Structure 1
Amino acid sequence: MNAASADRPPAVAFASSAAADGPPHVTTPVPYDGILLASFGGPEGQDDVIPFLRNVTRGRGIPDERLEEVAHHYRHFGGVSPINAQNRRLKAAIEVELERRGIDLPVYWGNRNWAPYLDEAVREAANAGDTTLIAVATSAYSSFSSCRQYREDFARVLEQTELAGTVTIDKVRQFFDHPGFIEPFRTGVREAIAGLLADGVSGERIQVLFSTHSVPMDDARRSGPRDREWGDGGAYEAQHLAVARVVMEHVAEQIPDAAAVGSQLVYQSRSGPPSQPWLEPDVCDVIAGLPERGIEAVVIVPLGFVSDHMEVLWDLDTEAMEAAAEAGLRAVRTPTPGVDPAYVAGLVDLVVERLSGAPRETRPHATELGPWFDVCRPGCCENIRAGFKPAAAGVAP
C-alpha cells in the first residue's frame, strides 16, 4: 500500500492490506495464517430441525407450522442433513492436501446456520493467533445466497465478536469454472452417457439436465457485477450455462456418439410464494415432458452443488428420480465433487494463488467468464429485500 492510499479509508472493509484498496485480482502475496472453511450447516438430529430452519429463515417471520412443511425433507432422513459430515470430510481432505504440499496452514470450519458457527471458528482462529484469514465458502457461483450472504456474515461475525480490528477475512474467487470443480462433473456425465450408449440408447434419445438451486428472479438479475449486461438470469445463470457448455463439449470430444445428446439448464428447490417469480424451468416439470420429445433416458447433473446435501438427496434423488420413473425414463444422477481429489486440489490451488499473488493471466479457468474476481465489485449480488449490508471481501456499493 502506497502513502497516498494509506491516507484514505480502505474500499474493502475487514480485508488484508493487499485487498483493502479493492483490486479485482490481488497480485500481491498475502501471508495468510489460517483458512476459514465456511458452509451452510445443517441439523444433526430431529430436535435440531426446527431451530435450524428458524436460523435459515431468520428475519422473515415465518411461523413454525410453515417451517414444519419443509422439515419433512429432513425428518425423512432422521432429522440429519449430511452436510456437516461432508464438511468434516472436506476439511480433513484439505488438511491432507495442504500437508502433501508442505503448506502449514490450519483450517477452521464454521457454518452460517448451525454448529459449529462462523463466530466460533473466527474466535478459535483469533485465540490461536491466526488473524489473517482466507475464506473458502462451499459455493461456486455468484448470487446473494451463494456469495454475498457469506461475505455479510463474515462482516457481522467480526463486528459481533469485536475482532474487526484484529482479524481480517479475504475470500477466494468464485470457482464455478476452476478445472478442479468442473472435472468431477465432466467425469460423471461422460461415464453416464457412455453407459447409456453401451446399453443401446441412442444419443438423440438421451437428455442431460444440469440442475441448480432456483433463486428469485430479482436476485438473479442482480447477481454478479453491474458493469455488464447478463440478461434476466444474471451472472448466476450465465455461469451455470458456461459450465454446462464446457462439460458437454468435453464429453463430445471424448465420445463421438455423444454429439447427438441434448442438454439444458433446469432449476430445483424453489421455496418462495407462487406470486414471486423464480428461475425456471423446474427439473421435475422438464422430466415429465421428455417422453413426448422422444427421450428415453435422462442424466441428472447436480451442477449447482458441491456435495450430496439435502437438496440433492431430496429434490434430485427422491423427487426427480420419482418423476423419471413416472415418465418411464431411465435415469442416472451423476456425482457432486464431494471430496474428489481434483476438487480438493483445486480449492487449495485457490488459496495458493492468493498466498503467492498469482497474476490473473496465470490463473486456471475453463470458461470465457473466468477467472472470477478476488474482490467482489461494487453493487455485486444485492439482496433486493434487505438492501446492502456491510460485507467483507468486496468493494462497498
Structure 2
Amino acid sequence: MTDGTDAARYDAVVVVSFGGPEGPDDVMPFLENVTRGRGVPRERLEEVAEQYMLFGGVSPINAQTGALVDALRAELGADGPDLPVYWGNRNWRPYLADTMAEMAHDGVRRALAFVTSAYSSYSACRQYLEDIDAARAAVGPEAPSVDKIRQYWNHPGFVDPFRDGLRAALADLGDRDARRTHLLFTAHSLPLSMAASSDYELQLRDAMELVAGHVAPDAPRELVWQSRSGPPQVPWLEPDVNDRLRTLSTTGVDQVVIVPVGFTSDHQEVVFDLDTQAAATAREVGIEVRRVPTPGVDPRFVRMVRDLVEERCVGATPVALGPLGPRSAPCAAGCCPAPTRPG
C-alpha cells in the first residue's frame, strides 16, 4: 500500500464489506468462509444457519451494500470526485479478489477503499487491510495499490442519522420524563484480548455520547454488546443486551431505546440479534422497546463517504465531532493486531 500522506489523484473507489448469503444454498458455504481456520464446530454453524433460515437464507447486507454503492456512484457523479465505484466482499460474492481483478482489467492503478465499519479493532479494520493485501496478491503485479479510508465513528454523516433516529424513537414512546427511558447503545462484542489492543470501546463510548448527549442528555445510557460468537471459556465484552434488558426490568425500567451505534446498516446482526432476539426478551420481561435505524443510505451518510474520499483525493480538511478528533490515516503499523487463536 502507498503511505497515503499526500493528496495525489486516485482513479477509483472500492467499497469493501462483510458479505452475506443470498439464498438457502449459500448459508453453510458462507458460514464456512467466515469461520475458516477458527475451529468452530459444525453444530454451531448449523445453529447459526437456522437464524439465517428465518429470513429465507438471505442476509440483508448484500442488498444494503449494493444500495450504498449505487448511491455513492450517484453522489460522486453529481458532485465529484468523479471516480468509478467498485464493490468487493470479505466472505461472499462479489469476492474482493474478483473485484480487484476487475479493477486491474479496467486499468485502475490506485484506489481508495471505503470499509463498511466505522471503528478500530482487528476485525473492524486490520482484517480488512489483510483482506485487501490478500486480494492484491491473488491478482498479482497488475493489481492496483489500495489505501483504506480512515475510521469515521465521529463524522457528522454517521452521527446525525443516529441522533434523528433517537429523537424519533423517544417521541414515539410518548411524552414522558426522558430520565425514565433507558438508552442501550449496542455494538458487536469482541474478545477482551482483541478489545484491549484497539480503541474500539473508546470510540464506541465517544459515539454514544455524541448521540445521546446531544439528544437526551439526562437519559440514563450505557454501552452493551451483542452477537457474541466465541467459545464460552474466552472472555468477551459484556454485558449482553439481552442480559441487560432482564436486569433493567427488575429495577422498574419499562421503556428502552436500543441504538445500534456499532453498525452502518440494518443487516443480519441487527434484524436477528436486536429485532428478533432482543425484542423477544423485552416482551418477556415487560419492557417497551424501540430500535433506532442505522445510517444505511441516508443522504448524509453517503455524503460522508464523498467527504472522506475528498480528504484523500484533494486534501479536504477532515471533519469530526467531539474531543477525539478525526482518526489519522493510514493506520499505524502493527495497530489492532490479530488475536491469538486457541491451538
Question: Scaled by the length of structure 2, what TM-score is found?
Answer: 0.96
Structure 2 match to 1:179: 156
1:169 aligns with 2:124: no
Q: Contact (CA 8 Å) 1:210, 1:244: kept in 2 or not? A: yes
In structure 1, what is the equivalent of residue 224 of structure 2? 266
One-letter amino acid of the structure 2 residue matched with residue 331 of structure 1: V
SS in 2 for 1:300: strand
Q: Does 1:355 align with 2:313?
A: yes
SS in 2 for 1:307: coil
Provide the secondary structure at the position in 2 that maps to 1:180.
helix
Return closer, same or farther for 1:60/1:291 CA change in 2, 3 Å cut-off.
Answer: closer
C-alpha contact (below 8 Å) 1:205/1:294 kept by paired residues: no
Whether 2:168 is the aligned partner of 1:210: answer no
Structure 1 distance, partners of 2:23, 2:143, is 36
- CA–CA distance in 1 between the matches of 2:153 and 2:334? 20
Which amino acid is 1:217 matched to? L
Aligned to 1:96: 74
Counterpart among 189, 192, 201 of residue 169 in structure 2:
192
Q: Please show how residues 235-254 of structure 1 align to structure 2 within 5 Å.
A: 235-252=199-216
Tell me if structure 2 keeps the 8 A contact 1:204–1:295: no
1:66, distance to aligned residue in structure 2 (A): 2.7
Alignment partners' CA distance in 2, 1:238 and 1:344: 25
Q: Tell me, yes or no, if the aligned pair for 1:209 and 1:263 is still in contact at 8 Å.
A: yes
Matches within 5 A, 1:69-84: 69-84=47-62
Unaligned runs of 5+ residues in structure 1 are 1-13, 20-25, 224-234, 253-258, 388-397
Q: Please give the per-residue CA displacement for 1:108-145, whole angstroms capped at 9, x wherever unaligned.
A: 10000000000111111111111201000000000011
TM-score (norm: length of structure 1): 0.84
- Cα separation, 2, equivalents of 1:66 and 1:268: 17
Q: RMSD over aligned Cα, in angstroms? A: 1.5
Output the CA distance in 2 between the equivalents of 1:104 and 1:201.
48
More off after superposition, 266-275 vs 366-375: 366-375
- Structure 1 Cα separation of the partners of residues 143 and 32 of structure 2: 31
1:345 to 295, 299, 303: 303
Which runs of 5 or more residues in structure 2 are unaligned?
none
SS at match of 2:272: helix
Q: Which residue does 2:23 correspond to in 1?
A: 45
8 A Cα contact 1:50 1:64, kept in partner = no
Say if 2:100 and 2:143, in contact at 8 Å, map to a contact too.
Answer: no
Match of 2:321 in 1: 366
Deviation of 1:377 (Å): 1.0
Match of 2:281 among 316, 320, 323: 323
1:55 aligned partner: 33
SS of equivalent to 1:135: strand
CA gap 1:289/1:166 in 2 versus in 1, 3 angstroms: closer
Question: Cα distance, 1:99 vs. partner?
Answer: 1.2
Q: Based on CA coordinates, which of the two structures has the bigger radius of gyration?
A: 1
Q: Distance in 2 between matches of 1:200 and 1:352?
A: 42
Q: What is the one-letter code of the residue matched to 2:201?
A: E
Structure 1 pair 134–204 and aligned structure 2 pair: CA distance change class (3 A): same
Match of 2:259, as an amino acid?
V
Q: What corresponds to 1:22 in structure 2?
A: none
1:94-113 deviation digits (Å, cap 9, x = unpaired): 01111110432111100000
SS in 1 for 2:183: strand
Counting only pairs closer than 5 Å after superposition, residues 25-174 of structure 1 correspond to structure 2 as 26=5, 28-163=6-141, 166-174=143-151
Give the match for residue 176 of structure 2.
Answer: 201
Q: Distance in 2 between matches of 1:335 and 1:73?
A: 21
- Contact 1:201-1:296 within 8 A present in 2 as well: no
Deviations 1:158-210 (A, max 9, x none): 112113x65100011001111101111011111212332xx243222200100
Distance 1:65 1:249 in 2: 43
Q: CA deviation at 1:384?
A: 2.3
2:71 & 2:42 partners in 1: Cα distance? 37
Q: CA deviation at 1:65?
A: 3.0
Contact 2:153–2:207 at 8 Å: present in 1 too?
yes
Q: Helix, strand or coil for the counterpart of 2:339?
A: coil
Given that 2:19 and 2:62 are in contact with CA atoms closer than 8 Å, whether structure 1 keeps it comes out as yes
CA contact (8 A) 1:56 1:113 kept: yes
Q: Report the alpha carbon displacement of residue 249 of structure 1 after superposing the two structures with TM.
A: 1.7
AA paired with 2:205?
L
Query: Does structure 2 retain, via aligned residues, the 8 Å contact 1:42–1:82?
Result: yes
Cα distance in 2 for partners of 1:123, 1:30 equals: 23
Give the letter for the 2:336 counterpart: C
